[in-house]
């Protein structure tokens, strides 16, 4: 029996405020979401971030261009090559340097490898959130192979510090390229296995279909990028629409889905992995003999100009807005993180669903707090 | 990319003109501290074939009263970026639905990305 | 006297078998997930469960300050008592219990109370959410569970489990009442909170659900009762649907059922709360009712 409140409503209904995080197995980092619940239904969501804020943008004003090179890896630590490419690309645009062809192809190769690794991690954790325990181990087994390849090439598994203005540090030798070439059909086979194991699983389908729907026009207005945008029917991929580096010489197939729900985002990422494998094979054919690094001044001074350079990362558009002032430090370096923009649409995605859906939806957004907070 | 320098009072009118022309995708929004004044930068993008693909707007602001109208009613994708500029630079956005800090703790004092803010804490004289 | 001895034996042996099942689950699940599972503590890691139990028993007894003193303490006890008491219906323990099936369903339906006690007594929102989900789940799945068990009772003409076991000639009820067997299997997994029906303990969503605030001895009791429940339902499946038989035969059948349950844990994602309700009410109840009609038609 509900007690009669004297002058307000005649029935007491309490909204439950549930705090998810900052320490929580499924928020993918130190992220805090406060959910207003009515029973199991979400009626409001307030995200709180900043737990991982490390002051990267201010640091750029205190370090020289070369001193800053290890930092971009740590923005989105799962897609470090893209962070590096964004920073190096912005710097090269300001300085008027173009890396030689061999370097450009190698950059494309390591970026696509990184995209695969990032998507594999996303797949494992997404399925873990939905309750399937085993695929996490299978995808990590594959990811370990990619990380081993990258460790052979760059010396590090996750934060590579590999790209330099005008090229990169180490060249890839024939054995490494052959190993990569042999790995591609292996990964293709694994990808097929994952699709076979996961796609037709009735419980999985019911957990992800028609959940967290966002329309194409809303996605555009919120500045979403990557799979979030393409799963809602918007055919936009920086590799094709605003090509950079080696992507100016290849045509990147863009995968889209129409439904805009969590299932669509899953399909887009799986298809993107297949596209990455195809691109790897194309790059391996394309790689020319030649110099690895362009000539770069010893003392790098950013001219008094500004530029915006963006790459298509696994999460969307990762951009760097760089303003120089003629000195060795940058005047301002702004990082455009795709995960931050993707999080803006959180209330659109979550309000109206249930708590377990919230976890699945957040998993499908694929955020990395390193770049959200910087 | 075109670059236009406008005043804070023209911001809404110019942005609405661009939105109507199809430049609906918010690419980035930030502020730059030039040492003697602040400058806001907005980049809006047209997702279909259009020349130019992006348009950049720059709005100079003074240190003493950095205020602009919020663009969130027309471009919802700027809601976090505006909060970030408020957090790190101290620019107030008129009409923002949730004007509070984004990355720093709510009780933090100071705006770190201003040139006058030193890492050892406090303002540089 | 004899019953007292049997009761004490059951009280001591069942936790041992539950510990063995814990080890078995961890090893089998690991192999299905391309990893090893515990293999250091004792030969093939067999002493791992013992080590875990000892660790749990030696922990400080904590209780949240705002927890309800009685409910919080009683919940673990209320979790394992019905399960242990339910073993009395099994033919290997007491062949003479003439109300076997009735007794089983009555006693197992008391499990819900422990979850409610844990959820409400913990004074934690996560526990509450988990507990509400769990109690809705358990209450809903009791109906198909009972309906499924009535099938063999009707076919054998008795509620006594040893009669049911021995009347499965020439075919076990799994083959003559497949709908009932499947219905029982699914409903029993839901009753025991086994994945994919473990949303009340969903680690990735509610941390640990209704037993999030428990540690030490109390948590050990929850764990033991969970594995004892697993053992019970596998044993029931073996006796009621797979034909019973000699002790070694039953053991083999139990291990087969347990292995399938673990296999399902490795493969299936977690089902959502409302989809779980839909499954129980809209699919399993018609299925198990259809089973009863099938039996009547078969025997005419």
Query: Among residues of chain A, what percentage have pLDDT more than 90?
Result: 37
For chains C and B, tell me whether 3 or more CB atom pairs sit within 8 A of each other.
Answer: no
3-state class (DSSP) for residue C55: helix
Render pLDDT for B79-112 as a digit per residue (tens, 0 to 9).
Answer: 999 999 998 888 898 888 888 888 888 888 888 8
pLDDT at residue A124 above 80?
A: yes
With beta carbons under 8 A apart, name residues in chain B contacting A339.
none
Has residue C280 got a pLDDT over 80? yes
Interface residue A321 vs chain B (CB under 8 A)? yes
pLDDT of residue A115: 93
Q: What is the DSSP string of B74-94?
A: T-GGGHHHHHHHHHHH--EEE
Contact by Cβ (8 Å): C261, C230: yes
The A-side interface with C (CB below 8 A) comprises: 16, 18-19, 24-26, 40, 127-134, 137-138, 141, 201, 203-204, 206-207, 354-357, 359
How far apart CA A64 and CA A328 sit, in angstroms, is 5
Span C157-189, pLDDT tens digits: 888 888 888 887 777 888 888 888 889 999 989
pTM of the model: 0.85
Instruction: Return the closest-CA partner of residue A47 out of A318, A353, A339.
Output: A339
Name the CA radius of gyration of chain B, rounded. 15
Where helices occur in chain C by DSSP H, the ranges are 2-32, 48-57, 69-86, 100-108, 111-121, 125-156, 161-166, 173-176, 178-191, 203-206, 217-236, 247-267, 273-278, 285-299
Q: Examine residue A176 and state whether it is found in any structural domain, yes or no.
A: yes
Quote the Cα angle for A201-A207-A208, to 5°: 95
For residue B36, the domain's CATH number is 3.30.460.80
Q: Give dist(CA A325, CA C62) in Å, integer.
A: 60
List of chain C residues whose C-beta atoms are within 8 Å of the C-beta of residue A359: 204-205
Q: What is the mean pLDDT of residues B49-67?
A: 85
pLDDT reported for residue A14: 67
Is A188 or C165 the better-scoring residue by pLDDT? A188
For residue A9, the model assigns a pLDDT of 47
pLDDT of B61 over the 50 cut: yes
Q: Which chain B residues touch A223 with a CB distance below 8 Å?
A: 25-27, 77-78
Which two three-digit tokens encode residue C12? 């001591």
Range of the domain at B57: 2-123
A51-98 pLDDT, tens digit per residue, is 889 989 988 888 888 889 999 999 989 999 999 999 999 999 998 889
Above 50 in pLDDT, residue A7? no
Which chains sit next to A, with 3 or more Cβ pairs under 8 A? Answer: B, C
Number of domains present in the structure of chain B: 1
pLDDT for res B120: 64
Q: Is A336 on the interface with B (CB under 8 A)?
A: yes
The verdict on residue A159 lying in a domain is yes
Interface test with B, best of A50, A55, A216 (most B CBs within 10 A): A50
What residue numbers bound the domain in which A157 lies? 66-348
Write out chain A residues lying below 8 Å of B1, CB-based. Answer: 308
Query: Which one-letter DSSP state was computed for residue C37?
Result: -
If DSSP states are collapsed to H, E and C, what string results for chain A?
A: CCCCCCCCCCCCCCCEEEEECCCCCCCCCCCEEEEEEECCEEEEEEEECCCCCCCHHHHHCCCECCCCCCCHHHCCCCCHHHHHHHHHHHHHHHHCCCCCHHHHHHHHHHHHHHHHHHHHHHHHHHHHHHCCCHHHHHHHHHHHHHHHHHHHHHCCCCCCCCEECCEECCCCCHHHHHHHHHHHHHHHHHHHHHHHHHCCCHHHHHHHCCCCCCCHHHHHHCCCCCHHHHCCCCCCCHHHHCCCHHHHCCCCCCCCCCCCCHHHHHHHHHHHHHHHHHHHHHHHHHCCCCCCCCCCCCCCCCCCCEEEEEEEECCEEEEEEEEECCCCEEEEEEEECHHHHHHHCHHHHHCCCEHHHHHHHHHHHCCCHHHHHC
Which domain CATH number covers A175?
1.10.645.10
Q: Which residues contact A272 (CB under 8 A, 6 or more apart)?
A: A115, A119, A227, A255, A314
Question: Would residue A217 count as lying in a domain?
Answer: yes
Closest Cα to residue B53, out of B85, B29, B87, B18? Answer: B18
Alpha-carbon span B31 to B40, nearest angstrom: 4
Radius of gyration over every alpha carbon of chain C, rounded to an integer in angstroms: 19
Domain count, chain A: 1
Predicted pLDDT of residue A179: 92
Helix then strand count (H, E) for chain B reads 2, 6
Question: For all residues of chain A together, what is the average pLDDT?
Answer: 87
Q: Pick from C33, C198, C204 the residue to mutate for testing the A interface (most A CBs within 10 Å).
A: C204
- What are residue B68's phi and psi, to 5 degrees? -140, 160
């Amino acid at each position: 029996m509900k007690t009669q409140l004297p002058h307000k409503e005649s029935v007491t209904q309490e909204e439950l405020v549930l705090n998810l995080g900052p320490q929580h197995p499924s928020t993918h980092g130190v992220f805090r979401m406060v959910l207003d619940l009515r029973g199991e239904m979400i009626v409001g969501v307030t995200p709180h971030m900043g737990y991982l804020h490390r002051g990267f943008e201010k640091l750029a004003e205190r370090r020289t261009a070369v001193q800053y090179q290890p930092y971009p890896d740590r923005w989105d630590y799962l897609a470090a090559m893209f962070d590096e490419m964004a920073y190096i690309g912005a710097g090269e645009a300001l300085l008027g340097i173009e890396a030689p062809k061999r370097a450009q192809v190698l950059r494309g190769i390591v970026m696509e490898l990184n995209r695969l690794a990032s998507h594999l991690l996303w797949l494992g954790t997404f399925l873990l959130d939905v309750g399937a325990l085993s695929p996490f181990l299978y995808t990590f087994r594959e990811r370990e192979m990619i990380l081993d390849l990258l460790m052979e090439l760059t010396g590090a598994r996750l934060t590579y510090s590999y790209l330099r203005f005008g090229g990169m540090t180490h060249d890839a030798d024939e054995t490494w390229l052959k190993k990569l070439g042999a790995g591609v059909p292996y990964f293709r086979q694994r990808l097929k296995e994952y699709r076979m194991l996961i796609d037709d699983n009735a419980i999985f389908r019911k957990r992800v279909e028609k959940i967290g729907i966002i329309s194409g026009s809303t996605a555009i207005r919120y500045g979403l990028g990557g799979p979030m945008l393409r799963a809602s029917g918007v055919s936009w991929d920086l590799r094709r629409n605003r090509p950079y580096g080696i992507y100016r010489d290849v045509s990147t197939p863009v995968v889209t889905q129409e439904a805009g729900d969590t299932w669509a985002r899953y399909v887009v990422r799986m298809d993107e992995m297949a596209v990455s494998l195809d691109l790897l094979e194309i790059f391996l054919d394309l790689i020319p003999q030649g110099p690895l690094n362009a000539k770069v001044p010893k003392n790098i001074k950013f001219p008094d100009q500004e530029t915006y350079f963006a790459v298509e990362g696994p999460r969307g558009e990762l951009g760097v807005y760089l303003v120089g002032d003629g000195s060795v430090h940058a005047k301002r370096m702004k990082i455009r993180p795709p995960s931050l923009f993707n999080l803006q649409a959180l209330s659109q995605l979550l309000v109206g669903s249930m708590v377990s859906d919230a976890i699945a939806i957040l998993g499908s957004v694929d955020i990395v707090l390193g770049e959200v907070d910087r | 990319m075109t670059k236009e320098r406008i005043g804070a009072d023209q911001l809404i009118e110019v942005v609405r003109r661009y939105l109507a022309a199809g430049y609906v995708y918010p690419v980035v929004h930030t502020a730059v501290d030039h040492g003697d004044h602040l400058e806001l930068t907005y980049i809006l993008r047209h997702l279909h074939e259009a020349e130019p693909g992006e348009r950049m707007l720059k709005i100079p602001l003074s240190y003493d009263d950095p205020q602009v109208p919020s663009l969130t009613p027309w471009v919802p994708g700027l809601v976090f970026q505006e909060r970030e500029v408020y957090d790190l630079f101290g620019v107030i956005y008129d009409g923002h639905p949730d004007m509070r800090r984004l990355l720093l703790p709510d009780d933090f004092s100071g705006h770190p990305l201003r040139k006058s803010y030193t890492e050892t804490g406090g303002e540089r004289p | 006297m004899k019953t007292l001895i049997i009761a004490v034996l059951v009280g001591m042996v069942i936790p041992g078998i539950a510990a063995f099942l814990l080890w078995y689950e961890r090893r089998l699940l690991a192999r299905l997930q391309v990893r090893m599972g515990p293999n250091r503590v004792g030969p093939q890691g067999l002493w791992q469960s013992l080590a875990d139990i000892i660790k749990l028993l030696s922990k400080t007894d904590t209780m949240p300050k705002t927890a309800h003193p009685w409910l919080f303490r009683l919940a673990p006890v209320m979790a394992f008592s019905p399960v242990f008491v339910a073993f009395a219906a099994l033919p290997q323990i007491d062949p003479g219990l003439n109300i076997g099936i009735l007794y089983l369903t009555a006693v197992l339906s008391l499990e819900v109370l422990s979850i409610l006690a844990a959820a409400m007594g913990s004074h934690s929102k996560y526990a509450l959410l988990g507990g509400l989900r769990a109690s809705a789940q358990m209450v809903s799945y009791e109906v198909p569970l009972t309906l499924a068990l009535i099938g063999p009772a009707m076919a054998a003409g008795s509620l006594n489990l040893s009669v049911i076991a021995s009347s499965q000639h020439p075919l076990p009820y799994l083959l003559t009442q497949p709908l009932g067997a499947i219905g029982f299997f699914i409903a029993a997994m839901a009753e025991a909170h086994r994945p994919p029906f473990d949303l009340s303990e969903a680690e990735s969503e509610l941390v640990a659900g209704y037993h999030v605030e428990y540690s030490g001895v109390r948590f050990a009791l929850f764990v033991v009762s969970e594995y004892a429940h697993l053992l019970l339902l596998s044993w029931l499946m073996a006796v009621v649907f797979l034909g019973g038989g000699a002790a070694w035969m039953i053991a083999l059948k139990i291990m087969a059922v347990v292995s399938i349950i673990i296999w399902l844990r490795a493969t299936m994602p977690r089902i959502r709360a409302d989809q779980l309700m839909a499954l129980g009410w809209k699919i399993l109840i018609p299925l198990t009712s259809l089973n009863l009609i099938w039996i009547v038609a078969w025997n005419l």
